[in-house]
Amino acid sequence: MMEPFKDKLSCMFTAPFYFEFTAKGIDKAKALDSVLIPMGYKNEEMIAFGDGHNDASMIKYAGIGVAMENAVDDLKAIANEVTLSNEEDGIAYTLSKYIKGIDI
């Protein structure tokens, strides 16, 4: 089914019931690069959070890539750290470790 589009599209399951299509070469890391770099931020200064396969490029790109506890195992394997699940406020918990003045 995907053979005619292999050079034009990237595709992956992002959940057991979601199959996501994007233009080849477009991903979340590319989005961060095109928006935040012109604003003067460096990727080493970024913290990215994710839970699915479509977050892998962003997790690798950011200075600190954090997988949620409920993330797919492949993402946990490439993340710098794994935090609490999204149901347990994992993002707030992790940000409180890195940013002064945030209490959870």
Tens digit of pLDDT at every position of the chain (104 positions): 667 777 877 777 776 777 777 777 889 999 999 999 999 999 999 999 999 989 999 999 999 999 999 999 999 999 999 999 999 999 999 999 998 876 66
Spatial distance between the Cα atoms of 78 and 91, rounded to a whole number of angstroms: 17
**pLDDT score, position 18:** 75
DSSP state of 2: -
What SS3 state is found at 48?
strand
Residues 66-79 have pLDDT tens digits of 999 999 999 999 99
- Give the start-to-end residue ranges of the domains of the chain: 27-98
| CATH of segment(s) 27-98 | 3.40.50.1000
Spatial distance between the Cα atoms of 38 and 23, rounded to a whole number of angstroms: 22
Phi, psi of 65 (to 5 degrees): -105, 125
Are β-strands 9-15 and 18-23 bridged in parallel, bridged antiparallel, or unpaired?
antiparallel
Question: What pTM did the predictor assign?
Answer: 0.82
